[in-house]
Structure 1
Amino acid sequence: MYITQALHRSAQCDPTRTSTIYGGRTRTVAETIDRVARLAGALRGIGITEGDRVGIFSLNSDRYHEALLAVPWAGAVVNPVNVRWSVAEVAYSLADCGTDVLLIDDNFAPVAVDLRRRAPNLSTLIYCGDGMTPDGMLDYEQLLADAEPVDDARRGGDDLYGVFYTGGTTGDPKGVMLSHRACLTSATGSLVTTDILGRGGVLMHAAPMFHLADIAAWNMGNLTGSVHMMVPSFTPTGVIEAIEKHGVTDALLVPTMIQMLIDAPEAATADLSSMRHVMYGASPISETVLTKARSVIANARFTQAYGMTELAPVATLLTADDHDDPALTRSCGRPASHSELRVVDLDDNDLPHGEVGEIVVRGDHVMTGYWNRPAETDAALRNGWMHTGDAGYLDERGYVFVVDRIKDMIITGGENVYSIEVENAIAKHPAVAQVAVVGIPDDRWGERIHAAVVLAAGATVDVDELGEFCRTLIANYKIPRSVEVLDQLPMSGAGKILKREIRKAHWEHAERVVG
């Protein structure tokens, strides 16, 4: 199989149906395939050859969709850029995997000069925005107008589809190499396992399209003949308006987006009745947020996906029917049809049901490796299994419960505390809108449990009040001993809370006490 295969099928079966909606633009399948073939021709015309890297540094748009198809059509490899990164981080990723050509939109064109200075291999910039083309860049639409369409290279199977950079807790980002087979195995296996996405619906891209979670939804949408409707980036108002205007049926949202959406004043009166499926994942969701979301978006069936970039990205799925079982509210589901999963000890021995260990995964969706990092690849893929770094356990029915990142486990007074359990308790407090729990240095206990919270509008809370509230829900040793109130939690471009940023101040200045 190959990424562009679904486009050929759509062109043959239903060329006049709507393919993309973005802003005021609507394009059919036939128009899209012509533009993809022309963009591929343009890329070859500027020197792109088999296996070359082409970067995309842009907010969501119909042109992003075209580029994700045109790059492999031209025989090249995509490198979607994290739009939340600094110029230095972006330049590192471009230089690291040898990206020579970069598509860049209005939002990031101002840093182009700095990017070129930091990434000298970057030879060509293609402006894919809607304004005037900046000096020194090629114009996307003019390139298409001047180019002749070319035949699809039909790269597929184990050929590299993309290099997707994922931030580490320390050091430089790692380039995850994913093949066509890996990406399509994840998409097809997910569709087989559950009704994660409707057929022929309107799929909204509000999560960033550079991220594997949204690219997974995009691949599924291609396979099911969805209309791809894009908003440039997530805002609650923009998403609500898009759902109402375009009759959106399906969406991939990370938990922070879901919370912002359901807390928006407009949500109470908005017509969200067209929504049929909400896929969520990428980070944990609190039971409180999930319960409210299922009430606000009442017609939608919710499916949780657990995985990581290295798994292209789906490992397990908690189906919509599973969401009706109270015993599974903290589970991330069972392995998807394409995924084999175990929970192991430090020596890779299987652990009994209910015992916490590292989650390891095997299947055709697993990455090829980390670009130019053989030692880290060998460590992650040792014994033929992808070692996720997540701590969890299996129950007797094969459901997976992720309790924490192994690195996020807090050891206080010799007791292991999993931050997600504390977060679930704190999230139930009416004053708390968002929470992240980390371990910080403590002279007596080694680490103490520290909560960073964002409060609901007009609310107040202190550590004693929060402690008393949590005491009814979790053991005393798991209760936070310090609390800090933030205006917002630090977030990655994919909407994940960056706990390392919360920890940083406390571990760099261990003598500092936060009350």
Structure 2
Amino acid sequence: MKIGSLLSHNARKYPELLAIECEGRSYTYRQFNEEVNKFAHGLLKMGINKGDKIALMMKNSDHYVFTFFAIAKIGAVAVPVNFRLTSSEVHYILQQSEAKLVVCDLEFEEIITTAKEDSDVRDVITIGEPRTFGYLSYESALSTNEIEPEVEVSEKDDLEILYTSGTTGRPKGALFDHKRIFNVGISVTINMGLRPHERILHVAPLFHSAQLNLFLIAGVALGAAHIIHRDFHPVKTLQAIQEHKITHFFGVPAMFNFILQVPNAADYDLSSIKRCGYGAAPMAPELVKKSIQLFKTDQFYNLCGLTEGGPGGILLDPEGHKLHLGKGGKPIFLTETRVVDEQGNDVKPGVVGEFILKSPMVMKEYYKKPEETKSTIKNGWLYTGDLATIDEEGYITLVDRKKDMIITGGENVYSVEVEGVLFEHPAVLDAAIIGLPDETWGEAVCAIIVPKEGAAINEEELKSFCRQKLAGYKVPRRIVIEQQLPRNASGKILKYQLRQTLNQVNA
């Protein structure tokens, strides 16, 4: 199945059904499809050919969705770009992906102007009236032709290059074709029980694989209504759920945490919610419990995957939450998973190994990086770089990234376990665990804490709290108080930045 045809099909099946609402603009499925076709023909008229790469540096919007589906319909390849990146970081992606066109929000036009130097980019389309000479406005790029573009697109044609979050260095571009992404939609629909005519709220960024592939594309296939927010704001999120009767909400753990801090959050009517999904980063069990209480539903899903998987991986369903809260879950539909040692042998229950998976949703390759592809995909298995355990029932628990594991005094410390304990403390809003060089122990466990508003952290009291729940060598030897933690747009804490900063302070 081709992704663009999912929209065309529902434009015929549900022509007057609400498809998109964004900042007061709303579109039925017929209007949605017509807008996409007009932009698709506009791109063809500009000389964009099948297989050409088009970068999107945009916040969530109706225009983002139109652009993505127009790209899909003409057989071009979408390259979503994290709008928080600097011009040099964007330059790397534009150059590495061989993008020929950029579609950007007006506020990112200046960054694109710098970033496209010495790249293959020949045109820029701005959402709004361009400030840069030679750039086109989105409106001027539209054709008046609303019929389906006559481009032969195969399910084996490339659809998107998703750049990894780059928590440990330069991002790599994971390449996917239409069939792989359609499989992602099938998998999430079956695993989460998505139904036609869902009402989905999009607050997580659409350049991220979870929001884009799991919920936008799957939702379009099902004929869902998509309520799109340009940015995440906890109060506006609660208001939208109440006003639009949202049935499905996905957020990264930090979003749930911020929602829980809204003083009158319990006053909002959230009864329309049928299910909540969380993922992209570990979510402490204490946060899950409080979120279940707020949303007044136990239909919570832990989606534990990675960009290279589509995203795909493991899932903890509502029943799993009752007995296995804190674990990652079991393989999602169409996926096989294992936890292996350095030789590729399955580990015994409780032993830490590397989490690997096999699936028809796994990326084709890292774009133009054959060596990295070869070291990541071995004999059909995707080696994730995540350390995990598996229990006797087959539940997998991610414990850390390989590069983030701490070895102190010869003992392994996994940050997820310690962070989970810290989140149980009533004064802790956010927390991260890293290892810092130590002459005696090799590495010392360091906790970076963001206190709740109005709360004070007593270091000795916090260490004592941890000692009640953790072995002595896991208790943080050093505690640093910060106002916020550095995160990428996927919600993952940038621990390498924390290590760099604190190592410089200690130097």
Q: Contact 2:5/2:73 (CA < 8 Å) preserved in 1?
A: no
Matches within 5 A, 1:309-458: 309-325=307-323, 328-458=324-454
1:164–1:225: structure 2 CA closer, same or farther, 3 Å change rule?
same
Matches within 5 A, 1:141-156: 141-147=139-145, 149-151=147-149, 153=151, 155-156=153-154
TM-fit CA distance, 1:146: 4.3
Q: Contact 1:42/1:148 (CA < 8 Å) preserved in 2?
A: no
Corresponding position of 1:265: 263
Q: Percent identity?
A: 34
Q: 2-side partners of 1:336 and 1:320: how far apart?
A: 14
TM-score, structure 2 length as denominator?
0.96
Corresponding position of 1:294: 292
Matches within 5 A, 1:221-232: 221-232=219-230
Corresponding position of 1:213: 210
Q: 2-side partners of 1:311 and 1:166: how far apart?
A: 11
Amino acid at match of 1:254: V
Corresponding position of 2:276: 278
Which of residues 235, 238, 241 is equivalent to 2:233?
235
TM-fit CA distance, 1:292: 0.7
Q: Contact 2:87/2:112 (CA < 8 Å) preserved in 1?
A: no
Q: 2-side partners of 1:112 and 1:297: how far apart?
A: 40
Q: Contact 2:14/2:223 (CA < 8 Å) preserved in 1?
A: no
Please give the secondary structure, in 1, of the residue aligned with 2:65.
helix
User: Which string of whole-angstrom CA distances, capped at 9 and with x for unpartnered residues, describes residues 189-210 of structure 1?
Assistant: 2222332x34312111100000
Q: Contact 2:75/2:159 (CA < 8 Å) preserved in 1?
A: no
Corresponding position of 1:193: 191
Amino acid at match of 2:184: S
Please give the secondary structure, in 1, of the residue aligned with 2:93.
helix
Q: 1-side partners of 2:179 and 2:395: how far apart?
A: 26
TM-fit CA distance, 1:431: 0.9
Amino acid at match of 2:273: M
Amino acid at match of 2:235: T
Corresponding position of 2:471: 475
Please give the secondary structure, in 2, of the residue aligned with 1:343.
strand
Question: Is 239-248 or 446-455 further displaced after alignment?
Answer: 239-248
Question: Is 162-171 or 330-339 further displaced after alignment?
Answer: 162-171
Corresponding position of 2:19: 19
1:146–1:13: structure 2 CA closer, same or farther, 3 Å change rule?
closer
TM-fit CA distance, 1:410: 0.6
Does 1:128 pair with 2:127? yes
User: Which string of whole-angstrom CA distances, capped at 9 and with x for unpartnered residues, describes residues 143-199 of structure 1?
Assistant: 22545644253534332111111133444221111121221212212222332x343
Alignment: residue pair count: 506
Which of residues 503, 506, 509 is equivalent to 2:502?
506
User: Which string of whole-angstrom CA distances, capped at 9 and with x for unpartnered residues, describes residues 312-370 of structure 1?
Assistant: 00211111222222xx1111111011111111110111112222100110110111111
Q: 2-side partners of 1:248 and 1:181: how far apart?
A: 29
1:268–1:279: structure 2 CA closer, same or farther, 3 Å change rule?
same
Which of residues 483, 487, 492 is equivalent to 1:487?
483
Corresponding position of 2:37: 37
Question: Is 353-362 or 132-141 further displaced after alignment?
Answer: 132-141
Question: Is 242-251 or 164-173 further displaced after alignment?
Answer: 164-173
Corresponding position of 2:115: 115
TM-fit CA distance, 1:427: 0.9
Amino acid at match of 1:337: F
Amino acid at match of 1:489: L
- What stretches of structure 2 of length at least 5 have no aligned partner? none
Q: Contact 1:156/1:179 (CA < 8 Å) preserved in 2?
A: no
Q: Contact 2:52/2:76 (CA < 8 Å) preserved in 1?
A: yes
Question: Is 147-156 or 21-30 further displaced after alignment?
Answer: 147-156
Q: Contact 1:38/1:148 (CA < 8 Å) preserved in 2?
A: yes
TM-fit CA distance, 1:301: 1.8
Q: Contact 1:100/1:121 (CA < 8 Å) preserved in 2?
A: yes
CA RMSD in angstroms, aligned pairs only: 1.7
Amino acid at match of 1:70: A
Q: Contact 1:39/1:149 (CA < 8 Å) preserved in 2?
A: no
Q: Contact 1:40/1:149 (CA < 8 Å) preserved in 2?
A: no
1:337–1:42: structure 2 CA closer, same or farther, 3 Å change rule?
same
Please give the secondary structure, in 1, of the residue aligned with 2:142.
helix
Corresponding position of 1:61: 61
1:317–1:156: structure 2 CA closer, same or farther, 3 Å change rule?
farther
Q: 2-side partners of 1:483 and 1:119: how far apart?
A: 45
TM-fit CA distance, 1:243: 1.6
- What stretches of structure 1 of length at least 5 have no aligned partner? none
User: Which string of whole-angstrom CA distances, capped at 9 and with x for unpartnered residues, describes residues 365-424 of structure 1?
Assistant: 111111111000000002221000011122222211111111111100000110110001
Which of residues 151, 156, 159 is equivalent to 1:158?
156
Corresponding position of 2:50: 50
Q: 1-side partners of 2:201 and 2:351: how far apart?
A: 39
Amino acid at match of 2:219: G
Amino acid at match of 1:231: H
Q: 1-side partners of 2:365 and 2:459: how far apart?
A: 44
Question: Is 357-366 or 176-185 further displaced after alignment?
Answer: 176-185
Q: 2-side partners of 1:169 and 1:9: how far apart?
A: 39
Q: Contact 1:72/1:154 (CA < 8 Å) preserved in 2?
A: no
User: Which string of whole-angstrom CA distances, capped at 9 and with x for unpartnered residues, describes residues 411-454 of structure 1?
Assistant: 00000110110001111111110000000100000001000010
Q: Which runs of 4+ in 1 moved over 6 A?
A: none
1:148–1:227: structure 2 CA closer, same or farther, 3 Å change rule?
closer
Amino acid at match of 1:496: K
Q: Contact 1:435/1:452 (CA < 8 Å) preserved in 2?
A: yes
TM-score, structure 1 length as denominator?
0.95
Corresponding position of 1:71: 71
User: Which string of whole-angstrom CA distances, capped at 9 and with x for unpartnered residues, describes residues 448-505 of structure 1?
Assistant: 1000010011111133111100111111110000011111000102221111111112
Please give the secondary structure, in 1, of the residue aligned with 2:3.
coil
Question: Is 446-455 or 65-74 further displaced after alignment?
Answer: 65-74
TM-fit CA distance, 1:14: 1.2
Q: Contact 1:189/1:338 (CA < 8 Å) preserved in 2?
A: yes
1:221–1:145: structure 2 CA closer, same or farther, 3 Å change rule?
same
Question: Is 163-172 or 49-58 further displaced after alignment?
Answer: 163-172
1:83–1:199: structure 2 CA closer, same or farther, 3 Å change rule?
same
Amino acid at match of 1:454: V
Corresponding position of 2:199: 202
Amino acid at match of 2:392: E
Q: 2-side partners of 1:205 and 1:194: how far apart?
A: 17
